[in-house]
Amino acid sequence: MNNDLADGFFGNYGGRFVPDELIPVLDDLKEAYNEFKHNDDFEAKLKQYHSDYIGRPSPLYFAEKMSSKYGSKIYLKREDLNHTGAHKINNCIGQGLLARSMGKKRVIAETGAGQHGVATATACALLDLDCSIYMGEIDTKRQELNVFRMELLGADVISVKTGNKTLKDAVDEALKDLIAHHNNTFYMLGSAVGPDPYPTMVRDFQSVIGQETRDQILDKENQLPDYLLACVGGGSNAIGLFYPFVRDREVNMIGIEPGGKGEKKGENAAPLNFGTPGVIHGFKSYLLQDKEGEIGTTHSIAAGLDYPGVGPEHSYLKDSGRAKYVTVSDDKALDAFNKLSRLEGIAPALESAHAVSYALDLSEQLTEDDIIVINLSGRGDKDVQQVAQIMKDKNA
């Protein structure tokens, strides 16, 4: 299945829908990426940072108690154990090295849950790059700890007070900054979204997740998994897990979107389930929009999933039938957050808890020989204060 087309489309999705002044910027980025991804020195430096700085390979952990309780073999790909606590650092180190190789001195980024912001600030501190990060005002309040971490690392965190004051609006402001300052600025996009070449570039930097998983599960079980599960907002952790298995048709790939409070407009952030194809932030994908094409409001308990669009490659995988996309509600994600914490001593990010929740329901329908791999894309430290407040409010 070859969906890496030269024009930056995955089937009908992707491409570039941007102002003319951004075309040469994207052309330069694509040329530099295509050159450096095949450069031995670049690859060697990236691998060194993987092992010595990020702490890769991340473990593939057999969740024995959870497996015994729910029925099938459940493995957790422990991206939460990476430096900075999530998968985001894989992409940021790669893009940071690329920025430096292109002679860029300043990096900008957007963030929702703050994990990409922390990873960006970390990479910039490591690689001596100036750093500005856009974050919706609502998200800065939900994720105060991560805001402090970004500032501690030397980043300028810019609170976005326009629109819904969440991730979409942070992306809007970051793109405006890029247009105004593209001569010296590198936009470190955090998910497998945006105009070409970002979806391909981010996927490639995150595919280390799936490549490691493949080797690890073959070593442990001498077979490929029956199911791969990952939460999907923009979709970088999911496409990083899925991509190395796309040609293995016996492996079922399931992405879990945030079902939020319900199926009505504004109650969720699940474009693959409730959206229609359209254009957002310079690319075509499924997105939550009205009949006139106006982008809809979104909701999720997990700030990192609170986005009205989704990566174009996920849109392609949905239409082709190669991957399946489902939803999990706020309440079920919160329940899974607590269950994994108590059963295995692992507190997942609220984003990852959506995938954990679906896995538990799925496992009860399978046999003890079926194998599920969940991408535990981040740890729950950042969410403990938020969860504590939600539980306090519920018990009031």
- Which pLDDT score is estimated for 368? 97
Are 158 and 237 within one domain? Answer: no
Are 190 and 175 within one domain? Answer: yes
Over the chain (396 residues), what is each successive 10-residue block's mean pLDDT? 63 95 95 95 97 98 98 98 96 98 96 90 98 94 90 97 89 91 94 96 98 98 98 97 98 98 96 97 96 91 93 98 98 98 98 98 98 98 92 86
- Which pLDDT score is estimated for 394? 86
Are 124 and 138 within one domain? Answer: yes
Are 81 and 91 within one domain? Answer: no
Which CATH number goes with the domain that contains 189? 3.40.50.1100
Rounded-to-integer distance, Cα 133 and Cα 121, Å: 8
- Which pLDDT score is estimated for 1? 33
- Among 202, 226, 250, the domain-final residue is 202
Are 16 and 98 within one domain? Answer: yes
Residue 5 lies in a domain: no
Are 253 and 160 within one domain? Answer: no
Prediction pTM value: 0.95
Given the structure tokens 């979409």, which residue do they identify? 168
Are 353 and 254 within one domain? Answer: yes
Residue 3 lies in a domain: no
Catalytic residue check, 88 = yes
- Which pLDDT score is estimated for 138? 92
Residue 2 lies in a domain: no
Q: Tell me the CB-side half-sphere exposure of residue 20, using CA atoms within 13 A.
A: 0
Are 224 and 287 within one domain? Answer: yes
Domains held by the chain: number: 2
Question: What is the side-by-side strand order in the sheet with 283-287?
Answer: 9-10, 13-14, 283-287, 276-280
DSSP H helix total and E strand total for the chain: 16, 14
Are 214 and 352 within one domain? Answer: yes
Are 41 and 68 within one domain? Answer: no
Residue 1 lies in a domain: no
Q: Which of 165, 257, 377, 382 is catalytic?
A: 377
Q: Which residues pair with 134 in a beta bridge?
A: 110, 158
Residue ranges making up the domain that contains 190: 10-49+87-202
| Token pair for 247 | 């040609």
- Which pLDDT score is estimated for 249? 97
Sequence-ordered strand ranges (E) for the chain: 9-10, 13-14, 60-62, 73-78, 106-111, 130-136, 156-160, 185-187, 227-231, 252-260, 276-280, 283-287, 323-329, 371-376
Q: Which of 73, 77, 104, 110 is catalytic?
A: 110
Q: Which of 30, 77, 88, 165 is catalytic?
A: 88
- Among 202, 225, 241, the domain-final residue is 202
- Which pLDDT score is estimated for 6? 57
Residue 353 lies in a domain: yes
Catalytic residue check, 110 = yes
> 284-305: string of b/e by CB count within 10 Å (b at 16+)?
bbbbbbeeeeebbebbbbbbbb
- Among 202, 228, 250, the domain-final residue is 202
- Which pLDDT score is estimated for 166? 86
Residue 265 lies in a domain: yes
> 64-92: string of b/e by CB count within 10 Å (b at 16+)?
eebbeebbbbbbbbbbbbbebbbbbbbbb
Are 235 and 190 within one domain? Answer: no
Rounded-to-integer distance, Cα 43 and Cα 46, Å: 5
Catalytic residue check, 151 = no
Are 80 and 100 within one domain? Answer: no
